[in-house]
Structure 1
Amino acid sequence: MCTCLLSFDPSSAVPVLLVGVRDEYADRAWDPPAAHWPDRPELFGGRDRQAGGTWLAVNPSAPRAACVLNGCGVDAPQDARLSRGDLPLRAAETGGLGDLDPSRLDPFHLVCAEPDRVRVWTWTGLELTERSLEPGVHMVVNTGLDATCPGPTAIPQSALDGIRARMGHFRPRLLTAARPEPKDGATADAWGDWLPLAEGDGLEQTDPRALLHRHLTDAGRVFATTSVSLVALSADGLRYDFSGRPGDPSAWTAVLG
């Protein structure tokens, strides 16, 4: 249940603020953000060791940021399936999808943010759409920009209820929180009222509204929020903060900025 919280305000000195919350199996190995890809030396992000891609990538020279979330719809054929972890790298590098053939990818939502525009691509397994976001506060979840699955395959009702509860709690909180303009300094100083939200807003991990969660699956594996990224984009560049221990205020590091 990955989530992207986003504020787009072209009139601000820092037009784009993005919180990228990654949910994954806790035993899936990954490396913290760095320039992991020799053929794309300008890109930074955490690296998934299993597939080699990432869930969120930033390009400080653009500046640009991109993150991917699982979508709902029709999965790709098992024998031809490719990882979605290349999508943030592709978008952060070029600002688009190029000649991507999505037919070998499972459904996804891909957010690509630049100081003057924010776009979301959605692939349902049958149709690829692109949407430009208007200025304002947005939440992107596994069902997209609302709690209605755009694909032909419905997600479990329990998951849909959780998405609705999370959106119902965090959207109003984002709207009323003072909007920071992150520049220099420690993470807490730079991100102000947004930091408590990125740290879960005091909700327990078992709360249906939880942004940061942890639970045991029926197969006996732990599925949890494994990292949180904070990205601020302006015409002058970007700032990128990261926590690999979500909910721990001491875990934040400034990767770039």
Structure 2
Amino acid sequence: MCTVIVSVEPDAEVPVLLAGVRDEFVARPWMSPAAYWPDHPALIAGRDLLAGGTWLAVNPGTRRVAALLNGGGRPAGLEVRLSRGDLPLKAADAGEMPHVDLSRYDPFYLVVAGLDGVRLWTWDGERISEEKLRRGLHVIVNTGRPAEEENARVGYFRPRFAQAARPALMTGGAPERFWGDWLRLASGDGVPDDDTRALVVRHALDDGRVYASLSVTLVALAESGVRYDFLPFPEDPRTWHTVDIPAQGRG
């Protein structure tokens, strides 16, 4: 169950904070965030080597981030199905839901966050809906935005992220110094990976495959720039690093 946590405070020095946890089969190959796509030269994102797309893309020039989660509903037909990994790339460039033939995509949730607000698109295989997220802390999982009492992960982490102090200024320095409690929470907050509340998970399946959290991303958006930190798994110890992005002029 992938997770996106986003905090929207329009009047804050750092108006948008986003944490993204990617859960996938461990054997699926991927690469850490960088500029990989000639068709999207402004973007920085991790790269899925199986399908060639991404799960989360950052556009430093326009102060924008787009993140994708798998959803539930009617899947696309095998003969026409396209990878959903191109959607965050197109959305981070355009700032909106890409103009695509949705019938060729399996269900998804697409989050697009910028200084003009945060929007969530939901495609269930039959219809698309759009929602502008209000001020506050939102948690999106593969079933949408469940209430705290409906989902153990949301019930544990939503109030903790909501109460955590947000970065006051877009400063440099180590991830721990910039993010404070957000870093600890995004790293899993010490909850065991097999706990129903866990944000960072690891499950060994009966067929021998392992399904786990492969990475965690933290992104901060402000008028003065973008902060982008990344935690790949497995790491021992778990080591965050700041993603190198080019000079942040306006796009």
Other-structure match for 2:153: 166
My pick for the range that moved more, 88-97 or 211-220, is 211-220
Deviations 1:68-113 (A, max 9, x none): 0000111111121110000110110110124222111110000000
5 Å-filtered alignment, 1:21-40, equals: 21-40=21-40
Other-structure match for 1:94: 94
1:250–1:214: structure 2 CA closer, same or farther, 3 Å change rule? closer
Mapped partners of 2:101, 2:129: distance in 1: 13
Q: Which SS does the other structure have where 1:240 is aligned? A: strand
Q: Which amino acid aligns with 1:111?
A: V
Other-structure match for 1:122: 122
1:168–1:16: structure 2 CA closer, same or farther, 3 Å change rule? same
| Equivalent residue for 1:197, pick from 176, 179, 185 | 185
Report the alpha carbon displacement of residue 247 of structure 1 after superposing the two structures with TM: 7.3
Q: Which SS does the other structure have where 1:143 is aligned? A: coil
For normalisation by structure 1, the TM-score amounts to: 0.91
Mapped partners of 1:245, 1:222: distance in 2: 13
5 Å-filtered alignment, 1:127-138, equals: 127-138=127-138
Mapped partners of 1:188, 1:249: distance in 2: 14
**Is the CA contact 2:87–2:98 (under 8 Å) kept in the aligned structure 1?**
no
Q: Which amino acid aligns with 1:76?
A: A
Mapped partners of 1:168, 1:250: distance in 2: 25
Other-structure match for 1:144: 144
1:147–1:24: structure 2 CA closer, same or farther, 3 Å change rule? farther
Mapped partners of 2:119, 2:237: distance in 1: 30
Deviations 1:29-87 (A, max 9, x none): 00110001012111000000001100000000101000000001111111211100001
Deviations 1:107-154 (A, max 9, x none): 000000001200000000011011100010000100111269xxxxxx
**Is the CA contact 1:241–1:256 (under 8 Å) kept in the aligned structure 2?**
no
Instruction: Using the aligned pairs only, state the percent identity.
Output: 54
**Is the CA contact 2:118–2:133 (under 8 Å) kept in the aligned structure 1?**
yes
Report the alpha carbon displacement of residue 250 of structure 1 after superposing the two structures with TM: 4.7
Mapped partners of 1:184, 1:107: distance in 2: 38
Report the alpha carbon displacement of residue 180 of structure 1 after superposing the two structures with TM: 2.2
Report the alpha carbon displacement of residue 217 of structure 1 after superposing the two structures with TM: 2.2
Mapped partners of 1:94, 1:252: distance in 2: 29
**Is the CA contact 2:214–2:234 (under 8 Å) kept in the aligned structure 1?**
yes
Q: Which SS does the other structure have where 1:251 is aligned? A: coil
Q: Which SS does the other structure have where 1:79 is aligned? A: coil
Mapped partners of 1:214, 1:249: distance in 2: 16
Other-structure match for 1:15: 15
**Is the CA contact 2:108–2:124 (under 8 Å) kept in the aligned structure 1?**
yes
**Which runs of 5 or more structure 1 residues have no equivalent in the other structure?**
149-160
| Equivalent residue for 2:204, pick from 216, 222, 232 | 216
1:34–1:50: structure 2 CA closer, same or farther, 3 Å change rule? same
Report the alpha carbon displacement of residue 184 of structure 1 after superposing the two structures with TM: 1.1
Mapped partners of 1:177, 1:101: distance in 2: 40
5 Å-filtered alignment, 1:172-251, equals: 172-181=159-168, 182-245=170-233, 250-251=238-239
Mapped partners of 1:95, 1:75: distance in 2: 25
- Regions of 4+ moved over 4 Å: 246-250
Q: Which amino acid aligns with 2:185?
A: L
My pick for the range that moved more, 175-184 or 108-117, is 175-184
**Is the CA contact 2:147–2:155 (under 8 Å) kept in the aligned structure 1?**
no
Q: Over the residues paired in the alignment, what is the CA RMSD in angstroms?
A: 1.7
Mapped partners of 2:15, 2:237: distance in 1: 25
